[in-house]
Structure 1
């Protein structure tokens, strides 16, 4: 895994989606603004589909999309928690 992750637009990535890269982007985030890299990474592979209600996932190896039922999306985008604390001016 490289330190510099290039984030493509939806459907343009040449590399397969990786939960490890997503975790790396979240771990490296030092602020809420930094977390936008992780959001952009997710959005480069996944988009909501209304009919059928599912997620479309970009699959670069086949250069096509796969329908993922909503109930199965948690296997691809697991909950990852990162807490940021904002220092207040008062003590």
Structure 2
């Protein structure tokens, strides 16, 4: 994650890893528990994580933007600029 250029790329990667890892752990626990009340509770925890993990990542990125951190943008080369112009033409 240190190799990513700015806080926005890092937070995206951290959010994906956080959410995906939590779901895989919950899936493993549900498979181990079988179908029972524990599985229902794990599904409810999964639903909670489904809404809270991306919301927390969005709040952190929005705070970084409000704090003045500008995203890093690379300059487009001549071939990429021509490709964009071709796509925009009707």
Please report the TM-score for the alignment, with normalisation by the length of structure 1.
0.31
Give the structure with the larger strand fraction: 1
Q: Which has the larger radius of gyration?
A: 2
Give the structure with the larger helix fraction: 2
